[in-house]
Amino acid sequence: MNKNSKIYIAGHRGMVGSAIWRALTAAGYNNLIGKASKELDLRNQQAVNAFFEAEKPDVVIDAAARVGGILANSDYPYQFLMENLQIQNNLIDAAHKNEVNKFIFLGSSCIYPKLAPQPLKEEYLLTDTLEPTNEWYAIAKIAGVKACEAIRKQFGKDYVSLMPTNLYGPFDNFDLKTSHVLPAMIRKFHEAKENNNAAVTLWGSGSPMREFLHVDDMAQAVLSAVENILPEHLYNVGTGTDLTIKGLAEQIQQTVGHTGEIIWDTSKPDGTPRKLMNVDKLKASGWEAQIVLEEGVKDTYQWFLDNIERFKEVKM
């Protein structure tokens, strides 16, 4: 890949997109393109087509999506399904029509069946039913994977899908109504510490197993896909190790310095019992996660503290 190649990162201001931008810049790529949502509404097919016709990117990285945790998926099922379909379909189709030969589509481990064997392998896709709490988002992402596979099969283009496990890191979403579990815990424990170490109530039993990948490791996986032609259409991206939600809570509590009680609200759903990724295929290509969870949580908490003013207006 030429360092002058024009690379469009959709969603470049989000946690994942900004990490990819940093990684590509550090690797010497100097012709990156990004458009804020106010400049380009990716749900608008006509606007996306016009953008591609004008810019003619060489590579497209789709890090744009409507995302959120269990509560957000439950409250906004139509938006999670329809908006994600619109965003990815517009990007994939415009890229194909404008002769973009390399497209990197980012999804999520939630595309796999709820009770699939562990660790999750790429071939488990569409072998059973999905987890109900996030099936709307998952169905949209599965459609994106299949669209890229179809273009690859029919037209021979280098369209590849990377499915990360739970991501976290700088620029994460710390809004408690829409955030994922790790940033939500960081904020809850921090605010409880500031409130005389008040008790923290967390959803579920704490027993589900989860895997967490620092967003900078994810960005390195994307960089690897940019610089190499991967032989298959779908790759898992993760650490290959997991821990219980209770274990995560205890680690974050220790990092934050909260000494109060943790209360588990078992009336709330746990979600999928376990979601551990098999990452053998991507490891075989030369990529491997480098950031251990303890260090990653410290890094993310420090970023939260450094940017805490932006979160103060969003109440618990």
- Residues comprising the binding site for NADP(+)? 11-17, 106-109, 141, 164-167, 180
Task: Spell out the alpha helix ranges (H) of 56-134.
Answer: 70-75, 77-97
Q: Which residues of 25-40 are buried (b: 16+ CB within 10 A; e: fewer)?
A: eeeebeebebbeeeeb
- Alpha carbon distances (Å) from 23 to 27, 248, 303: 6, 27, 18
Which residue type sits at 296?
Answer: G
Task: Spell out the alpha helix ranges (H) of 156-232.
Answer: 181-194, 215-227
Which residues define the annotated binding site? Answer: 11-17, 106-109, 141, 164-167, 180, 188, 203, 210, 270
Helical pair 215-227 and 15-26, crossing angle rounded to 10 deg: 50
Question: Which residues lie below 8 Å from residue 168, measured CB to CB, with a gap of 6+?
Answer: 180, 182, 183, 212, 213, 214, 215, 296, 297, 300
Q: Which of 8, 29, 137, 301 is catalytic?
A: 137
Task: Spell out the alpha helix ranges (H) of the chain.
Answer: 15-26, 45-55, 70-75, 77-97, 135-155, 181-194, 215-227, 245-256, 280-284, 293-306
* Phi-psi map region of 240: left, alpha, beta (phi>0 left; psi -120 to 50 alpha): left
137 is catalytic: yes
* Helices and strands in the chain: count of H runs, count of E runs: 10, 13
Which residues define the annotated binding site for substrate? Answer: 188, 203, 210, 270
Does an H or E element contain 104, and which?
strand 102-106
Q: Provide the annotated active-site residues.
A: 137
